[in-house]
Structure 1
Amino acid sequence: MTKKISISEGFKGEEAIALPLDILQMQKLLPAKKNLFITHIGYYPEARYHLRNRDQGCNEHILIYCSEGMGWVTHENRTVHLSADTYYLIPAGEAHSYGSRDSNPWSIYWLHFKGEDSGLVQSLKGKPLALKNTGPQSKKHSLDLFHNIYENLKFGYHAETLDYISFTLLYFLASLKYQEHYLRNSRLNSENIMNKCIAIMKENLEKKLTLQELANLVGYSSSHLTRLFTEKMNSSPMTYYNRIRLEQACQYLKYSSYKIKEIAFKLGYFDPYHFSRSFNKEMGITPKIYRQQYYIPTDQINQ
């Protein structure tokens, strides 16, 4: 009989952070000590043959979010099946096992956490929690908080960072319990971030703004901002930025007397040839032809 393969970790493309013991001890001294705090956090993509058995439970609470595929959790003498966009919370000290379906392996975001129980653990435990679909982006909003926690931990374990993460974790759990309230606020926040990004882009049309600079200005990681922007605008930030630079180029070509090479340099292009290629690719004609067709002399404007 062939022995069934099982893997607890080490999946291709996985990401994980385990906080050092001295940092976990430091957590108890922070102002947020009465709140919950992260001990481990990570992501397992397409985790085929994933399996964990803990007859004595775990020292930490465990939250699993299945983003794709399917898996299962055995807890409290029953087995529940998780599919895409479903959470499950296992309290510390309670026996359990969980794993991925062989035929359609899950991709999971997961975190372990400790701390004095805020009441949220008991209210969320032991049941699969499906994210409510109240709009095309709704299933991604709670994960924004997960990514925010993960990205902050990547930058180190400063006391202020740990304090912030502790409060964010509490907010993250609350976003699962009170989804309608959270999604209402998240839609507004998402719109505000997009408006701020576009305003920054327009303020920097004459400078070659990079994705990292834009992300820093709005306080997000570049990968997180790209995901949010693409979901909202159906375009990556840099594609959108280049588009509005070319829209400004059209304005210059149509209404100003700047030479084409001057327009190129004003909009941060390496040289006039690079500008012409980009313009032609987006507009279907060269800057020279565009000017010949649409240029309006200054003395005719507003007439």
Structure 2
Amino acid sequence: MSQPSSWPLPAGSSRVVFPLSLTEQLAEHPLTRHLYPLAYGHYVDAAGHQVQREQHTDYLLIFCHRGRGAFHTPHASGLLQAGQLLLLPAHTAHHYQAQADDPWSIYWVHFHGTAAARCLQLLNFTPQQPVLTLARWRQLIPSVTELLNLQHQRYSLSAGVLAATLLQRIIAEVPRLSDTAQPAAGFDLAALDRFMQDNSHRNLALQDFAAVAGLSRYHFSKKFKTATGISPMRYFNQLKVRLACQMLDTSTDSVRHIAQLLGFDDPYYFSRLFKKTMGVSPQLYRDSHHRQQER
């Protein structure tokens, strides 16, 4: 892991570095191995803060909420200002520092996982454009605060799993809060999402969604993928898997019964879809969740 800076912490700042034993557990855990934090913190009015790394083994997100700073990589350089998010990929040399006349206040996290590289695609980052502006970043503060408050707990696997879950939630929210998130032209995406939620118990086809949007299947699929980055049926199936996770967490219903409640006539197909989406089978997901509760 690339060590966080040893910059002296002023009042109101914090830094959390997980021990190697914990990050090794998170790298193997079925609920966290795809994305988990290694270290994170909050630097307030960080005068004199600067870091230069030629070797960088993990991914790093820096969000500036006040002041300014500068960054430089082999592919890009510029200023990071309030409301902007910088992503530095693994294995990318970099240098960044707070501006002397207006030092930044930043939230930051070092992270890794099997899906870490795909975060660049999710967040629309490229090596040439590593900065994203968030129009409504304050909506993330409750999750960020909850993550920072974990520093008051002892290091444990359960705390690490919760930290990973919060990080995943924060990253998942970023596209919705960015200036570049655009609604699909030609239909109401929010209304369609509600339709999918209300009909998650049905076995619907592409034509059903296209009819709700008032478009042909071809034009609907194209517009939907432009808006969300994935196909309509994959989106619908992922919604069903999220609902399945809630049912597995909160009920004792069998996997077969949950599949039927979500419109799957074939429980084996449902299990394959669940594993493809979550990385584990429905039963292993349930067992892992119950073990966490017991701890």
TM range (shorter): 0.5 to 0.7
1:147 counterpart residue number = 145
In the alignment, what sits opposite 1:67? Answer: 65
The residue matched to 2:172 in structure 1 has which SS? helix
- Which residue pairs with 2:131 in the alignment? 128
- Native 8 Å contact 2:76 2:130 kept in 1: no
CA distance in 2, matches of 1:65, 1:54: 19
Residues 146 and 85 from structure 1, CA distance in 2 versus in 1: closer, same or farther, beyond 3 angstroms? Answer: same
After superposition, give the CA deviation of every residue in 1:120-155 in whole Å (9 maximum; x if it has no partner): 2344334221111xxxxx431113222111213431
Contact preservation (8 Å) 2:65, 2:105 = yes
Q: Which amino acid aligns with 2:83?
A: D
Q: How many residues align?
A: 171
AA of the residue aligned to 1:43: H
Aligned to 1:110: 108
| Cross-structure match for 1:88 | 86
Q: Secondary structure at the match of 1:28?
A: helix
Residue 43 of structure 1 deviates from its aligned partner by: 1.1
1:28/1:34 CA distance change after superposition, 3 Å: closer
Amino acid of the structure 1 residue aligned with 2:104: W
Residue by residue over 1:31-89, the C-alpha shift from the partner in whole angstroms, topping out at 9 and shown as x without a partner, is 22432111111111111121111122x22111101111110111243212111111111
- Inter-CA distance 178–139: structure 2 relative to 1 (3 Å threshold): closer
**Which TM-score applies when normalising by structure 2?**
0.53
The Cα shift of 1:161 comes to 2.5
Match of 2:265 in 1: none
Give the structure 2 partner of residue 245 of structure 1.
Answer: none
For residues 8 and 49 of structure 1, the distance between their equivalents in structure 2, rounded to whole angstroms, comes to 12
Residues 245-271 of structure 1, C-alpha deviations (whole Å, 9 max, x = no match) = xxxxxxxxxxxxxxxxxxxxxxxxxxx
Q: Deviations over 1:94-122 (max 9, x none)?
A: 11110111111111111101111252234
The residue correspondences of 1:1-303 to structure 2 (distance < 5 A) are 9-13=7-11, 14-56=13-55, 58-118=56-116, 119-124=118-123, 125=125, 126-132=129-135, 138-179=136-177
TM-score (norm 1): 0.52
* Aligned partner of residue 78 in structure 2, secondary structure: strand
- Matched residues in 1 for 2:166 and 2:160: separation? 10
Q: Which has the larger radius of gyration?
A: 1
Q: CA deviation at 1:8?
A: 5.3
Residues of 2 paired with 1:99 and 1:48: CA distance?
A: 9
Shift of 1:170: 1.4
Structure 2 partner of 1:192 = none
For 1:104 and 1:71, the matched residues in 2 are separated by 8
1:147-185 CA distance string (max 9 Å, x none): 11121343123323322222221121111122279xxx9
Q: One-letter code of the match for 1:100?
A: A
Which runs of no fewer than 5 residues in structure 1 stay unpaired? 1-6, 133-137, 186-303
Contact 1:60 1:93 (C-alpha < 8 Å) held by counterparts: yes
Asked if the contact 2:27/2:34 (under 8 Å) is kept, the reply is: no
Tell me what 2:186 maps to.
none
The amino acid that maps onto 2:142 is D
Contact 1:18/1:41, CA 8 A, preserved across alignment: yes
Q: Which residue of 2 aligns with 1:237?
A: none
Q: Cα–Cα, structure 1 residues 8 and 77, in superposed 2: closer, same or farther, change >3 Å?
A: farther
Using the aligned pairs only, state the percent identity: 24
Per-residue displacement from partner, 1:179-213 (whole Å, max 9, x unpaired)? 279xxx9xxxxxxxxxxxxxxxxxxxxxxxxxxxx
1:35–1:170 Cα contact (<8 Å) kept:
no
**Relative CO higher for 1 or 2, CA cutoff 8 Å, sep ≥ 6?**
2
Q: Which amino acid in structure 2 is aligned with residue 88 of structure 1?
A: L
Q: Distance in 2 between matches of 1:39 and 1:121?
A: 18
CA distance in 2, matches of 1:20, 1:12: 23
- Whether the aligned pair in 1 keeps the contact of 2:69 and 2:96 (CA below 8 Å) is yes
Q: Which amino acid in the other structure matches residue 129 of structure 1?
A: L
Q: Aligned residue for 2:247? A: none
Post-superposition CA distance 1:10-30 (Å, at most 9, x none): 131221111111111121232
- Evaluate the alpha carbon distance shift between residue 36 and residue 147 of structure 1 in structure 2; reply closer, same or farther with a 3 A threshold: same
Q: What is the SS of the residue equivalent to 1:41?
A: strand
Question: Which residue of structure 1 aligns with residue 283 of structure 2?
Answer: none
Unaligned ranges ≥5, structure 2: 182-189, 191-295
